[in-house]
Amino acid sequence: MRITLRVWRQADRNSPGGLKTYQLTDVDSSMSFLEMLDLLNEELTARDEEPVAFDNDCREGICGMCGIVINGAPHGRYNSPVATTTCQLHMRSFHDGDVIDIEPWKAGAFPVIKDLVVDRSAFDRIIQAGGYISVNTGAAPEAHSTPAPKRQADQAFDNATCIGCGACVAACPNGAGMLFTAAKITHLARLPQGQPERLRRVKAMVAAHDEAGFGGCTNIGECAAVCPKSIPLASIGQLNRDLIHSLFTGEGK
């Protein structure tokens, strides 16, 4: 396949960036999108040009590192028939002669570090604010001693699949990180182990979200539409219910 790429190049956080055009003439349809970028970088290196910086690690859809906006959609969601991460998107989703725009996540809370790499440490700060449970150290307790109803366990697990890639933020016109925050809150709110700190957790994590510069949620739903793990918009409802409960009752201080 012959592919034309228009790739965002930006030297560093403080430099202006722009799209630069590259041609690839030997793209195999069985390549993953990242393998196609590897091919581009091999050609750039052979020409003594600076390779394109992009984040990746597992290349199996589980680490959340590979965030790229492809043709205007995080992870190329609208080029794929199913929810996907960039590393699980394959070139068979494109056609010979296609022009593909490749950009970094675009959000105020995710400043560009270089080319397609953004600083997602704002997510770490949200987790540090409350995305955990406090337990005494010692041997792991017997799992069956803390029974969780099947439906709640399933909801917790569905939300625990969030890989923190940031696609929800990149897709949101408000630059909100609410689906990510809601997934982490709902994961713990649906389990017995998450109850003691539940209301304190939601207040602290939402405060950290706002402090990091993310926008507010206005229920547009683009986040859930592009989420590679199909985290439901309903999780934001759980967050809002817990937050309102906390604010109106004064619990969770």
Interface residues toward ligand FES, by CB under 6 A: 56-59, 61-66, 85-87
DSSP code for 173 = T
**Closest Cα to residue 158, out of 188, 180, 187, 185?**
187
- Comparing CB distances to ligand FES, the nearer of 129 and 179 is 179
- Comparing CB distances to ligand FES, the nearer of 127 and 148 is 127
Least distance from ligand FES to the Cβ atom of residue 88, Å:
7
Q: Are 71 and 78 in contact (CB under 8 A)?
A: yes
- Comparing CB distances to ligand FES, the nearer of 61 and 215 is 61
Least distance from ligand FES to the Cβ atom of residue 31, Å:
15
- Comparing CB distances to ligand FES, the nearer of 87 and 191 is 87
Q: Which residues contact 43 (CB under 8 A, 6 or more apart)?
A: 22, 24
Least distance from ligand FES to the Cβ atom of residue 167, Å:
11
Least distance from ligand FES to the Cβ atom of residue 231, Å:
15
- Comparing CB distances to ligand FES, the nearer of 100 and 191 is 100
Secondary structure of residue 198 in the 3-state scheme: helix
Least distance from ligand FES to the Cβ atom of residue 102, Å:
15
One-letter identity of residue 22: Y
Retrieve residue 65's tokens: 């590192």
Sheet holding 69-70, edge to edge: 18-24, 3-9, 99-103, 69-70, 73-74
Least distance from ligand FES to the Cβ atom of residue 235, Å:
20
One-letter identity of residue 248: F
- Comparing CB distances to ligand FES, the nearer of 66 and 231 is 66
The rounded distance, in Å, linking the Cα atoms of 58 and 88 is: 10
* Main-chain phi, psi angles of 120, to 5 degrees: -105, 25
